[in-house]
Amino acid sequence: MSTHDDSIYATATPEPRGGSQSSYNHPPQYTRQPPSTGWGCTGFALGGCAAIAIIMLFSFLLLSLIVGGMMQMAASVSDLAAISQDDPLTERFVSGNRQATNKIAILTIEGIITGAEDGFVAKQIRQIIKDEDVKAVVLRVDSPGGTMSGSDYYHYLLKKMKQERNDLPLVVSMGSIAASGGYYISTVGDEIFAERTTITGSIGVIASLYDATELAKKIGVESTPITSGPHKRMGSFLQPMSDEEKAIWQGLIDDNFERFKEVIREGREVFADDPESLDKLATGQIYTATEAEANRLIDGIGFLDDAIAAAMNRAGLNETNSKAIKYRPKLKFMDVLLESRSAEHLLGTKTFQDLTTPRIYLLCPHVLPIAKRE
């Protein structure tokens, strides 16, 4: 590298105009030129090294993602191969003695209830029925409700499970919310616990019906269905509802509401003996855990551990000779590839279609867009 400063150059003083010669020679003067803006050899070298480093870093990250994904897929496929067809769900240890054979099964129902016949809830119930080592069940409910048919179907399956297993003890543990359909299925429990911040109740029935006729007019859409009868189009959001149609829908609501109260009276003896007290509560109102306990909708306030302890006690077990377990869905090969293992817990396309189709719901009202009160 040169040791002199190339930015400094010697310049001679120009001759005076007129060609006259100065009486003496002026010494050379030096001026500083602006520095060069080019990269130079050093800059290009540093830039090249930086580019190579960045390329190597991205290559390493990409390779790590590929290798990690392949390892995860291999592990998942290994888990898949280890699960037999006779054991559709895997178990996860929760508490108690890990080596014990007696089980307290935690059966979970979460999210919007649609009543899928081949869904995770139905699979849990079927596995409990087959597993003789399960001595008691804790039904963990964290749901705002869902369809009337789905809630009733799960209630039916839970009752069937208890009957087929000779009145298998069942204790309910309510999570953040167990309202409407969530409370409907909870009534199957021998004992019901709610957490201190649980919202429950919302005993009532609703039909989600909409009128978009004005919107259709504004965008130039007209519905012209061909029907076999005057009420075949009933419930369409592209036509106003007549008084006769409202009366028909109200009849459906009333019938299902009576069914809801009947289920509560069957599961809660206190209301079987005093049905008028249930009528006062069945207004669709939601209740805190404290209010629910005071109104005898639940038996006590406690967390999941309290419900597990109560289930053990009902089965004559303890933490030394039993263990609490939870179920996980069986992995399918396509689930491994697409990473959609818990897809049915998400609010996917099918659930959206279920919620937007005219039908009867046992659902806490804040879940659906309901028209304002008149």
Residues 6+ apart with CB under 8 A from 330: 80, 83, 88, 89, 90, 123
Report the pLDDT averaged over residues 296-325. Answer: 97
pLDDT > 60? residue 263: yes
pLDDT > 50? residue 374: no
Report the pLDDT averaged over residues 315-329. Answer: 96
Report the pLDDT averaged over residues 339-360. Answer: 48
Q: Which carries the bigger pLDDT value, residue 240 or residue 160?
A: 160
If pLDDT is split at 50, 70 and 90, which confidence band does 72 have? low
pLDDT computed for residue 224 by the predictor: 82
Q: What is the pLDDT of residues 84-126, one digit of tens each?
A: 444 579 999 999 999 999 999 999 999 999 888 889 999 999 9
Q: Which carries the bigger pLDDT value, residue 227 or residue 339?
A: 227
Both structure tokens of 311: 């289930």
- pTM attached to this predicted model: 0.69
Q: Which is catalytic among the residues 143, 151, 173, 180?
A: 180
∠ Cα 321 122 351 (to 5°):
135
Q: Is 217 a catalytic residue?
A: no
Q: What is the pLDDT of residues 11-37, one digit of tens each?
A: 444 555 554 444 445 555 555 555 555
pLDDT computed for residue 65 by the predictor: 59
**Dist. CA 39–CA 132, nearest whole Å:** 78
Q: Is 232 a catalytic residue?
A: yes
Structural domain spans, the chain: 41-82, 90-223+233-367
pLDDT computed for residue 32 by the predictor: 55
pLDDT > 80? residue 314: yes
Mean pLDDT of all residues belonging to the chain: 79
Question: What percentage of residues in the chain have a pLDDT greater than 70?
Answer: 66
What are the CA-CA distances from residue 176 to residues 188, 195, 199, 295 (Å)?
A: 19, 7, 6, 19
Write down the H helix ranges in the chain: 40-82, 120-130, 148-164, 181-186, 213-219, 243-267, 269-273, 275-281, 289-294, 304-314, 333-338, 349-356
Question: With contact defined as beta carbons under 8 Å apart, do 184 and 144 qualify?
Answer: no
**Dist. CA 180–CA 188, nearest whole Å:** 14
Q: Which carries the bigger pLDDT value, residue 148 or residue 350?
A: 148
Residues 6+ apart with CB under 8 A from 133: 101, 102, 103
pLDDT computed for residue 40 by the predictor: 60
Q: Which is catalytic among the residues 130, 160, 217, 232?
A: 232
pLDDT computed for residue 79 by the predictor: 42
**Dist. CA 372–CA 207, nearest whole Å:** 14
- Tallying the residues shown for the chain, one arrives at 374
Question: With contact defined as beta carbons under 8 Å apart, do 131 and 304 qualify?
Answer: no
Q: Which carries the bigger pLDDT value, residue 365 or residue 293?
A: 293
pLDDT > 90? residue 212: no
Report the SS3 class of residue 365: helix
Both structure tokens of 211: 């009128």
Q: What is the pLDDT of residues 95-105, one digit of tens each?
A: 999 999 999 99
DSSP 57-119: HHHHHHHHHHHHHHHHHHHHHHHHHHS-TT--SEEEEEEE-TT-SEEEEEEEEESSB---TTS
Report the SS3 class of residue 179: strand
- For the ranges 29-43, 47-61, 123-137, 260-274, the lowest mean pLDDT is seen at 29-43
Return the CATH number of the domain spanning residue range 90-223+233-367.
Answer: 3.90.226.10
Report the SS3 class of residue 33: coil
pLDDT > 60? residue 148: yes
